[in-house]
Protein backbone atom coordinates (compact mmCIF):
# COMPACT_ATOMS: atom_id res chain seq x y z
CA UNK A 1 0.00 0.00 0.00
CA UNK A 2 1.40 3.42 -0.98
CA UNK A 3 1.83 6.20 1.56
CA UNK A 4 -0.82 8.17 -0.37
CA UNK A 5 -3.41 5.41 0.23
CA UNK A 6 -2.30 5.09 3.87
CA UNK A 7 -2.72 8.85 4.39
CA UNK A 8 -6.08 8.75 2.61
CA UNK A 9 -7.43 5.98 4.88
CA UNK A 10 -5.95 7.61 7.98
CA UNK A 11 -7.50 10.94 6.99
CA UNK A 12 -10.92 9.34 6.46
CA UNK A 13 -10.84 7.51 9.81
CA UNK A 14 -9.62 10.50 11.81
CA UNK A 15 -12.10 12.79 10.05
CA UNK A 16 -15.04 10.59 11.07
CA UNK A 17 -13.92 10.56 14.71
CA UNK A 18 -13.48 14.35 14.77
CA UNK A 19 -16.84 14.87 13.05
CA UNK A 20 -18.78 12.72 15.54
CA UNK A 21 -17.22 14.51 18.51
CA UNK A 22 -17.85 18.04 17.24
CA UNK A 23 -21.04 17.61 15.18
CA UNK A 24 -23.43 19.33 17.65
CA UNK A 25 -21.24 22.46 17.46
CA UNK A 26 -21.33 22.28 13.67
CA UNK A 27 -25.14 22.07 13.67
CA UNK A 28 -25.46 25.11 15.94
CA UNK A 29 -22.93 27.03 13.84
CA UNK A 30 -24.76 26.33 10.57
CA UNK A 31 -28.02 27.56 12.11
CA UNK A 32 -26.29 30.72 13.33
CA UNK A 33 -24.86 31.39 9.87
CA UNK A 34 -28.19 31.00 8.09
CA UNK A 35 -30.30 33.02 10.56
CA UNK A 36 -31.38 36.27 8.92
CA UNK A 37 -31.68 39.41 11.08
CA UNK A 38 -32.31 42.82 9.51
CA UNK A 39 -30.03 45.77 10.34
CA UNK A 40 -32.73 47.55 12.33
CA UNK A 41 -33.37 44.41 14.38
CA UNK A 42 -29.73 43.81 15.33
CA UNK A 43 -29.85 46.12 18.34
CA UNK A 44 -32.93 44.44 19.79
CA UNK A 45 -32.18 40.85 18.78
CA UNK A 46 -31.05 38.60 21.59
CA UNK A 47 -27.94 36.58 20.76
CA UNK A 48 -27.51 33.30 22.57
CA UNK A 49 -24.13 31.84 23.41
CA UNK A 50 -23.03 28.50 21.96
CA UNK A 51 -24.13 26.46 25.01
CA UNK A 52 -27.51 28.23 25.17
CA UNK A 53 -27.96 27.65 21.43
CA UNK A 54 -27.38 23.93 21.95
CA UNK A 55 -29.90 23.87 24.81
CA UNK A 56 -32.40 25.75 22.61
CA UNK A 57 -32.03 23.13 19.84
CA UNK A 58 -32.52 20.31 22.38
CA UNK A 59 -35.63 22.02 23.78
CA UNK A 60 -37.25 22.65 20.38
CA UNK A 61 -36.05 19.64 18.34
CA UNK A 62 -34.86 17.12 20.94
CA UNK A 63 -31.39 15.58 21.15
CA UNK A 64 -31.74 14.38 17.57
CA UNK A 65 -31.77 18.02 16.43
CA UNK A 66 -28.09 18.33 17.31
CA UNK A 67 -27.30 15.36 15.06
CA UNK A 68 -29.59 16.16 12.13
CA UNK A 69 -27.81 15.16 8.92
CA UNK A 70 -25.13 13.14 10.74
CA UNK A 71 -25.33 10.12 8.40
CA UNK A 72 -24.62 11.98 5.14
CA UNK A 73 -22.16 14.11 7.09
CA UNK A 74 -20.13 11.04 8.10
CA UNK A 75 -20.20 9.84 4.49
CA UNK A 76 -19.10 13.30 3.36
CA UNK A 77 -16.35 13.45 5.98
CA UNK A 78 -14.97 10.04 5.05
CA UNK A 79 -15.09 10.89 1.34
CA UNK A 80 -13.70 14.42 1.79
CA UNK A 81 -10.86 13.49 4.11
CA UNK A 82 -9.99 10.36 2.14
CA UNK A 83 -9.96 12.17 -1.21
CA UNK A 84 -8.19 15.21 0.21
CA UNK A 85 -5.40 13.34 2.01
CA UNK A 86 -4.90 10.91 -0.87
CA UNK A 87 -4.41 13.61 -3.49
CA UNK A 88 -2.55 15.80 -0.99
CA UNK A 89 0.00 13.01 -0.53
CA UNK A 90 0.18 12.34 -4.30
CA UNK A 91 0.87 16.00 -5.08
CA UNK A 92 3.20 16.29 -2.07
CA UNK A 93 5.27 13.32 -3.32
CA UNK A 94 5.47 14.93 -6.74
CA UNK A 95 6.53 18.29 -5.24
CA UNK A 96 9.21 16.56 -3.13
CA UNK A 97 10.51 14.72 -6.21
CA UNK A 98 10.72 18.00 -8.14
CA UNK A 99 12.52 19.68 -5.21
CA UNK A 100 15.01 16.78 -4.99
CA UNK A 101 15.65 16.95 -8.75
CA UNK A 102 16.28 20.69 -8.48
CA UNK A 103 18.80 20.07 -5.70
CA UNK A 104 20.70 17.60 -7.88
CA UNK A 105 20.93 20.30 -10.53
CA UNK A 106 22.28 22.71 -7.93
CA UNK A 107 19.09 24.72 -7.54
CA UNK A 108 17.49 24.88 -4.11
CA UNK A 109 18.11 22.91 -0.92
CA UNK A 110 15.80 20.01 -1.76
CA UNK A 111 12.93 21.14 0.47
CA UNK A 112 9.43 22.27 -0.52
CA UNK A 113 8.80 25.99 -0.22
CA UNK A 114 5.70 27.67 1.17
CA UNK A 115 4.26 28.37 -2.30
CA UNK A 116 4.59 24.70 -3.20
CA UNK A 117 2.80 23.69 0.03
CA UNK A 118 0.02 26.12 -0.86
CA UNK A 119 -0.28 24.77 -4.41
CA UNK A 120 -0.35 21.14 -3.24
CA UNK A 121 -3.11 21.86 -0.71
CA UNK A 122 -5.11 23.96 -3.21
CA UNK A 123 -5.05 21.27 -5.91
CA UNK A 124 -6.12 18.56 -3.47
CA UNK A 125 -8.83 20.83 -2.04
CA UNK A 126 -10.26 21.71 -5.46
CA UNK A 127 -10.66 18.05 -6.43
CA UNK A 128 -12.24 17.33 -3.06
CA UNK A 129 -14.78 20.17 -3.44
CA UNK A 130 -15.85 19.21 -6.96
CA UNK A 131 -16.43 15.58 -5.97
CA UNK A 132 -18.09 15.96 -2.55
CA UNK A 133 -20.06 19.26 -2.46
CA UNK A 134 -23.44 17.55 -3.21
CA UNK A 135 -23.15 15.69 0.10
CA UNK A 136 -22.55 18.92 2.04
CA UNK A 137 -25.51 20.64 0.37
CA UNK A 138 -27.73 17.86 1.78
CA UNK A 139 -26.09 18.14 5.22
CA UNK A 140 -26.73 21.90 5.34
CA UNK A 141 -30.38 21.37 4.34
CA UNK A 142 -30.87 18.77 7.07
CA UNK A 143 -29.15 20.89 9.73
CA UNK A 144 -31.31 23.94 8.97
CA UNK A 145 -34.61 22.25 8.04
CA UNK A 146 -36.50 22.86 11.31
CA UNK A 147 -35.17 26.44 11.42
CA UNK A 148 -36.48 27.05 7.87
CA UNK A 149 -39.84 25.45 8.69
CA UNK A 150 -40.16 27.66 11.75
CA UNK A 151 -39.41 30.75 9.63
CA UNK A 152 -42.08 29.70 7.10
CA UNK A 153 -44.60 29.31 9.94
CA UNK A 154 -43.73 32.77 11.26
CA UNK A 155 -44.28 34.24 7.77
CA UNK A 156 -47.69 32.55 7.59
CA UNK A 157 -48.70 33.90 10.99
CA UNK A 158 -47.60 37.41 10.03
CA UNK A 159 -49.59 37.17 6.77
CA UNK A 160 -52.64 35.97 8.72
CA UNK A 161 -52.36 38.84 11.20
CA UNK A 162 -52.09 41.35 8.33
CA UNK A 163 -55.14 39.80 6.68
CA UNK A 164 -57.05 39.95 9.99
CA UNK A 165 -56.33 43.67 10.43
CA UNK A 166 -57.27 44.43 6.80
CA UNK A 167 -60.45 42.34 6.63
CA UNK A 168 -61.56 42.80 10.22
CA UNK A 169 -61.50 39.15 11.30
CA UNK A 170 -63.00 38.57 14.75
CA UNK A 171 -60.86 37.43 17.65
CA UNK A 172 -62.35 33.91 17.69
CA UNK A 173 -61.83 33.43 13.95
CA UNK A 174 -58.26 34.65 14.19
CA UNK A 175 -57.49 32.43 17.17
CA UNK A 176 -58.97 29.43 15.34
CA UNK A 177 -56.79 30.00 12.28
CA UNK A 178 -53.68 30.56 14.43
CA UNK A 179 -54.45 27.33 16.29
CA UNK A 180 -54.70 25.51 12.95
CA UNK A 181 -51.24 26.75 12.00
CA UNK A 182 -49.82 25.73 15.40
CA UNK A 183 -51.28 22.22 14.97
CA UNK A 184 -49.29 21.61 11.76
CA UNK A 185 -46.48 19.19 12.66
CA UNK A 186 -43.12 19.24 10.88
CA UNK A 187 -42.88 16.72 8.06
CA UNK A 188 -40.40 13.82 8.34
CA UNK A 189 -37.16 15.01 6.82
CA UNK A 190 -34.32 12.65 6.01
CA UNK A 191 -31.69 12.32 3.31
CA UNK A 192 -34.14 11.32 0.58
CA UNK A 193 -36.44 14.24 1.43
CA UNK A 194 -33.45 16.60 1.24
CA UNK A 195 -32.45 15.17 -2.16
CA UNK A 196 -36.01 15.62 -3.48
CA UNK A 197 -36.25 19.18 -2.13
CA UNK A 198 -32.92 20.29 -3.64
CA UNK A 199 -33.75 18.73 -7.03
CA UNK A 200 -37.28 20.20 -7.08
CA UNK A 201 -35.97 23.64 -6.16
CA UNK A 202 -33.03 23.94 -8.56
CA UNK A 203 -32.58 20.74 -10.56
CA UNK A 204 -29.30 18.84 -10.75
CA UNK A 205 -27.29 22.07 -10.47
CA UNK A 206 -28.81 22.60 -7.01
CA UNK A 207 -26.45 19.96 -5.65
CA UNK A 208 -23.51 22.21 -6.53
CA UNK A 209 -24.95 25.34 -4.90
CA UNK A 210 -22.27 27.42 -3.24
CA UNK A 211 -19.56 25.99 -5.49
CA UNK A 212 -17.98 29.42 -6.11
CA UNK A 213 -17.36 30.39 -2.44
CA UNK A 214 -16.50 26.75 -1.67
CA UNK A 215 -13.81 26.67 -4.36
CA UNK A 216 -12.47 30.01 -3.14
CA UNK A 217 -12.49 28.50 0.35
CA UNK A 218 -9.99 25.91 -0.87
CA UNK A 219 -7.51 28.46 0.45
CA UNK A 220 -8.75 27.51 3.97
CA UNK A 221 -7.15 24.04 4.05
CA UNK A 222 -4.33 25.41 1.92
CA UNK A 223 -3.56 28.04 4.58
CA UNK A 224 -4.16 25.44 7.29
CA UNK A 225 -1.70 22.93 5.84
CA UNK A 226 0.83 25.61 4.99
CA UNK A 227 0.87 26.70 8.65
CA UNK A 228 0.79 23.10 9.91
CA UNK A 229 3.48 21.68 7.63
CA UNK A 230 5.70 24.72 8.12
CA UNK A 231 5.38 24.58 11.93
CA UNK A 232 5.90 20.80 11.97
CA UNK A 233 8.99 21.11 9.78
CA UNK A 234 10.53 23.77 12.05
CA UNK A 235 9.74 21.73 15.16
CA UNK A 236 11.34 18.61 13.66
CA UNK A 237 14.45 20.57 12.64
CA UNK A 238 14.69 21.97 16.16
CA UNK A 239 14.38 18.48 17.66
CA UNK A 240 16.94 17.06 15.23
CA UNK A 241 19.57 19.64 16.24
CA UNK A 242 18.81 19.32 19.95
CA UNK A 243 21.49 17.39 21.82
CA UNK A 244 19.22 16.40 24.67
CA UNK A 245 15.59 15.60 25.25
CA UNK A 246 13.15 13.67 23.08
CA UNK A 247 13.49 13.60 19.30
CA UNK A 248 9.96 12.49 18.30
CA UNK A 249 6.93 14.76 17.96
CA UNK A 250 4.25 13.82 20.51
CA UNK A 251 0.52 13.50 19.81
CA UNK A 252 -0.17 16.47 22.10
CA UNK A 253 2.24 18.68 20.15
CA UNK A 254 0.55 17.67 16.89
CA UNK A 255 -2.79 18.53 18.55
CA UNK A 256 -1.64 22.10 19.31
CA UNK A 257 -0.03 22.56 15.89
CA UNK A 258 -3.31 21.49 14.26
CA UNK A 259 -5.25 23.91 16.47
CA UNK A 260 -2.95 26.82 15.55
CA UNK A 261 -3.19 26.02 11.83
CA UNK A 262 -6.97 25.76 11.80
CA UNK A 263 -7.42 28.94 13.85
CA UNK A 264 -5.47 31.00 11.32
CA UNK A 265 -7.33 29.48 8.35
CA UNK A 266 -10.81 29.83 9.90
CA UNK A 267 -10.51 33.50 10.83
CA UNK A 268 -9.24 34.31 7.32
CA UNK A 269 -11.98 32.59 5.31
CA UNK A 270 -15.05 32.68 7.60
CA UNK A 271 -17.16 35.20 5.58
CA UNK A 272 -17.05 32.85 2.58
CA UNK A 273 -18.27 30.01 4.76
CA UNK A 274 -21.32 32.05 5.81
CA UNK A 275 -22.15 32.86 2.16
CA UNK A 276 -21.80 29.17 1.23
CA UNK A 277 -24.17 28.09 4.02
CA UNK A 278 -26.73 30.74 3.02
CA UNK A 279 -26.71 29.49 -0.59
CA UNK A 280 -27.02 25.82 0.37
CA UNK A 281 -29.84 26.33 2.91
CA UNK A 282 -33.51 26.34 1.85
CA UNK A 283 -34.23 29.47 -0.20
CA UNK A 284 -38.04 29.57 -0.40
CA UNK A 285 -38.82 30.58 3.17
CA UNK A 286 -41.34 33.33 2.62
CA UNK A 287 -42.18 36.22 0.37
CA UNK A 288 -39.32 38.40 1.60
CA UNK A 289 -36.88 38.91 -1.27
CA UNK A 290 -34.02 39.46 1.18
CA UNK A 291 -34.26 35.79 2.18
CA UNK A 292 -33.64 34.41 -1.33
CA UNK A 293 -30.32 34.40 -3.18
CA UNK A 294 -29.81 33.70 -6.88
CA UNK A 295 -26.05 33.29 -6.61
CA UNK A 296 -22.86 34.16 -4.74
CA UNK A 297 -22.72 37.87 -5.60
CA UNK A 298 -26.46 38.28 -5.04
CA UNK A 299 -26.04 36.76 -1.57
CA UNK A 300 -23.12 39.06 -0.72
CA UNK A 301 -24.95 42.19 -1.89
CA UNK A 302 -28.19 41.33 -0.08
CA UNK A 303 -26.36 40.45 3.14
CA UNK A 304 -24.63 43.84 3.06
CA UNK A 305 -27.85 45.67 2.12
CA UNK A 306 -30.27 44.03 4.54
CA UNK A 307 -28.08 42.81 7.41
CA UNK A 308 -24.80 44.71 7.28
CA UNK A 309 -21.19 43.52 7.49
CA UNK A 310 -21.61 41.78 10.90
CA UNK A 311 -23.74 39.11 9.15
CA UNK A 312 -20.58 37.75 7.53
CA UNK A 313 -19.22 36.83 10.96
CA UNK A 314 -22.32 35.24 12.49
CA UNK A 315 -21.44 32.27 14.68
CA UNK A 316 -17.68 32.73 14.23
CA UNK A 317 -16.92 32.02 17.90
CA UNK A 318 -18.78 28.69 17.65
CA UNK A 319 -16.99 27.87 14.40
CA UNK A 320 -13.58 28.61 15.88
CA UNK A 321 -14.24 26.27 18.81
CA UNK A 322 -15.64 23.54 16.53
CA UNK A 323 -13.05 23.84 13.75
CA UNK A 324 -9.99 24.17 15.96
CA UNK A 325 -11.01 21.26 18.18
CA UNK A 326 -11.99 19.08 15.20
CA UNK A 327 -8.76 19.85 13.33
CA UNK A 328 -6.68 19.17 16.44
CA UNK A 329 -8.34 15.79 16.96
CA UNK A 330 -8.08 15.01 13.24
CA UNK A 331 -4.35 15.74 12.98
CA UNK A 332 -3.56 13.92 16.22
CA UNK A 333 -5.55 10.78 15.34
CA UNK A 334 -4.33 10.77 11.72
CA UNK A 335 -0.67 10.90 12.75
CA UNK A 336 -1.28 8.00 15.17
CA UNK A 337 -3.03 5.99 12.43
CA UNK A 338 -0.10 6.59 10.06
CA UNK A 339 2.37 5.51 12.78
CA UNK A 340 0.41 2.29 13.34
CA UNK A 341 0.37 1.67 9.58
CA UNK A 342 4.15 2.19 9.36
CA UNK A 343 4.75 -0.24 12.24
CA UNK A 344 2.46 -2.86 10.67
CA UNK A 345 4.06 -2.39 7.25
CA UNK A 346 7.53 -2.79 8.77
CA UNK A 347 6.49 -6.01 10.54
CA UNK A 348 4.92 -7.39 7.34
CA UNK A 349 8.08 -6.61 5.36
CA UNK A 350 10.20 -8.41 7.97
CA UNK A 351 7.92 -11.46 7.85
CA UNK A 352 8.01 -11.52 4.05
CA UNK A 353 11.80 -11.06 4.04
CA UNK A 354 12.36 -13.90 6.56
CA UNK A 355 10.01 -16.26 4.69
CA UNK A 356 11.82 -15.54 1.42
CA UNK A 357 15.14 -16.77 2.85
**pLDDT at residue number 310:** 86
Q: Cα(190)–Cα(237) distance, rounded to whole angstroms? A: 50
> What is the gyration radius of the CA atoms in the chain, in angstroms?
25
| pLDDT given for residue 348 in this prediction | 81
Positive or negative CA dihedral for 247, 253, 258, 260?
negative
At 246 the pLDDT is: 67
Q: What is the pLDDT of residues 241-299, one digit of tens each?
A: 776 666 677 878 888 888 888 788 878 888 988 999 888 887 655 556 666 788 888 88
List pLDDT tens digits, range 86-128: 888 888 888 888 888 888 888 777 777 777 877 888 888 899 9
Residue 249 near residue 236, CB atoms below 8 Å = yes
pLDDT in the model for residue 47? 64
* pTM of the predicted structure, to 2 decimals: 0.67
Residue 221 confidence (pLDDT): 67
pLDDT at position 208 is 92
- In Å, how far are 90, 134, 203, 282 from 199, measured between CA atoms? 35, 11, 4, 12
CA distance linking residue 268 with residue 217, whole number of Å: 10
In this prediction, the residues of the chain whose per-residue pLDDT falls under 70 are 1-4, 37-48, 154, 168-171, 174, 178, 181-188, 221-222, 243-247, 283-291, 355-357
Predicted local confidence at residue 207, as pLDDT = 93
Distance, CA of 164 to CA of 157 (rounded, Å)? 10
Amino acid sequence: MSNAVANGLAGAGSGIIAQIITYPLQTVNTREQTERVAKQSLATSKRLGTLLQMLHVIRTDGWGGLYSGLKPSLLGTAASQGIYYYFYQVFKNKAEAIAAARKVKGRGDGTIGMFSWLSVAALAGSLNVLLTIPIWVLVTRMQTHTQAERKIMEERKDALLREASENGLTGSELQHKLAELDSIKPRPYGTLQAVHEVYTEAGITGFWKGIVPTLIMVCNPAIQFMIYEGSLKRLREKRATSKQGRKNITALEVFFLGALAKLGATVTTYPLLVVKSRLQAKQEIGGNVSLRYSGTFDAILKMIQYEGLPSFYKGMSTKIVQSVFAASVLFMVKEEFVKVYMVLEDKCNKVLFSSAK
